[in-house]
Structure 1
């Protein structure tokens, strides 16, 4: 996974499949996602 600090938020894309596109999340949404990942709340 690749992350980018963009003016409009945080960009995410799959580094193994960059042609698949990307997501842009608001900083608050990204922070919430990271909290959920750290807490083991997601089935990743």
Structure 2
């Protein structure tokens, strides 16, 4: 598995393509944690 393999992350980086192995939108992949308010 390497640069010529479409199914690996390394191969997708070499080809410049995206998919399940290499998600394009990183904001949707990791949602922000909700803000925690302190009780008074």
TM-score range for the pair, normalised by the shorter chain length: under 0.3
- TM norm structure 2: 0.25
Bigger fraction of residues in helix? 1
Q: Find the structure with the greater CA-based Rg.
A: 2
- TM norm structure 1: 0.24
Bigger fraction of residues in strand? 1
